[in-house]
Structure 1
Amino acid sequence: MKSVLIVDDHPVVRAAVKIVLEKEGFKRIYEAASVGEALSILREHAVDLVILDLVMPGGDGLDVLERIKTSDWSCQVLVFSSLDPLFFQDRCMRAGAMAYVAKTNDLIQMQKAVQAVRTGYTYFARLPAGSQNPLQRSEKQMIDKLSNRELTILQYLARGMTNKAIGELMHLSHKTVSTYKTRLVEKLGVNAAVHLRDFAKRNHLI
């Protein structure tokens, strides 16, 4: 592996990750602050490794993961996110990621993950089993049953975005987003759409 793409909208995070990658011997390091920039670089350059955040302007990291999985780009993906691995690690693994590192960890974990992926291994955290209370367990099961698109829309709604703004961002009609919102209320068992934010915050989705 010689080339790498860092996808994160925070310059300080990109700078810190870049230092780790330079220590690991990467010579060509590309940077993207949005989904659009990331996809543009992937189309134009041969990239061996992608360091991917899940929350960014212009879309989300899960969408980038799906695009890479269905494309002919021969790059590996290491997810580096502030989102709780309890709810996102398995989803990223299923979407083709080779590693998941939470930003709450020391950068040494990022370095170890890069080393693992470069040698053909995966790098995922060992998640706690049975440590959640019954409510958390049942809510995690509901979250796991959501599609990537449903989960993304839930996160956008929980951040206070309007149906119109979400539709423009995800190239969906206002009516389609409204349908997703209704479906989320039903699937997650909340009383009304206004409670989706509480559900998302309680489960560390935002």
Structure 2
Amino acid sequence: MTVDDHAILRGGIKFVLLAFDDMELVGEARNGDEAVDLCEQLQPDVVLMDLMMVGMNGAEATRAIRKKYPEIQVLILTSFLANDLVQKAMQAGAIGYLLKGISIDELANAIRAAAIGRSILAAEVIQVLLQPSKPSSQAIYELSKRQQEVLALLALGLSNEAIAQRMKLSPSTIRHHVSQVLNKLGVTNRTEAATTAVRVGCV
């Protein structure tokens, strides 16, 4: 599902997705309020969310969707690249943050990744996040060696199942470690944890 106040962009994404057999655009919303309502009706796997819209903005809509429908992943697709916007979107529960200049294949791959719970950040976004604040750098050293391994693999985009296979542990054990990592780092999702790992050189 796409959420954008520009009909031309919504139409463009609809046309682009027709090229991929494994994707279907189930709905379009013009703003955050419509997006929340449509999520109840359509139950999309992934929502492509713009940030700057009249009424409920993208970050607010993301928070509302993730709270009501935690199984729905929200992928930010915007023209704006500012640290505070990225932080708000990630804190609201977005699984990724992309810029509208992205290529068709990159967009398709990002949607696929989001659908299976893998976070995705544009390279420019990572650079922005690397610069100003370092909120959780000290907390990295409070992680156990195993938790640091989990964080490093998580930052590479591996799912819990893939991490479990790599570390020869059960998925439930990995889920526990991921939960502990998020708590110790003081972050709310895997994307924020991955960003912290990149920032402090864990990856």
Is 1:60 matched with 2:70?
A: no
Q: Structure 1: give runs of 5+ residues left out of the alignment.
A: 142-206
Alignment root-mean-square deviation, CA: 2.6
Query: What is the rounded CA distance, in whole Å, between the counterparts of 1:56 and 1:129 in structure 2?
Result: 22
Matched, 1:120 2:117: yes
1:32 to 29, 34, 44: 29
Q: Cα–Cα, structure 1 residues 37 and 74, in superposed 2: closer, same or farther, change >3 Å?
A: same
CA distance in 1, matches of 2:71, 2:129: 37
What is the rounded CA distance, in whole Å, between the counterparts of 1:90 and 1:107 in structure 2?
Answer: 25
* Shift in CA distance, 57/122, structure 1 to aligned 2, threshold 3 Å: same
Aligned equivalents of 1:104 and 1:72: distance in 2? 29
The 1:86/1:104 distance shift into structure 2, 3 A limit, reads farther
Give a deviation string over 1:12-50, Cα, whole Å, max 9, x none: 111121233333332352001122221221122222111
2:121 is paired with a residue whose SS is coil
Work out the number of aligned pairs and report it: 131
Q: CA deviation at 1:123?
A: 0.6
For 2:3, the equivalent position in structure 1 comes to: 7
Q: TM-score, normalised by structure 2?
A: 0.56
Aligned match of 1:50:
47
Is it true that 1:87 corresponds to 2:94 in the alignment?
no
Once the two structures are superposed, the pairs formed by residues 182-197 of structure 1 within 5 Å of their partners are none
TM-score between both structures, scaled by the size of structure 1 = 0.55
What SS does the aligned partner of 1:56 have?
A: coil
Alpha carbons of 1:60 and 1:86: their partners in 2 closer, same or farther (altered >3 Å)? Answer: same
Aligned to 1:204: none
Deviation at 1:118, TM superposition (A): 2.6
Unaligned runs of 5+ in 2: 135-203
Kindly indicate whether the alpha-carbon contact (under 8 Å) linking 1:50 and 1:77 is maintained by their aligned counterparts in 2: yes
Change (3 A) 1:15 1:35: same
CA spacing shift, 1:118–1:73, aligned 2, 3 Å: closer
Identity %: 27
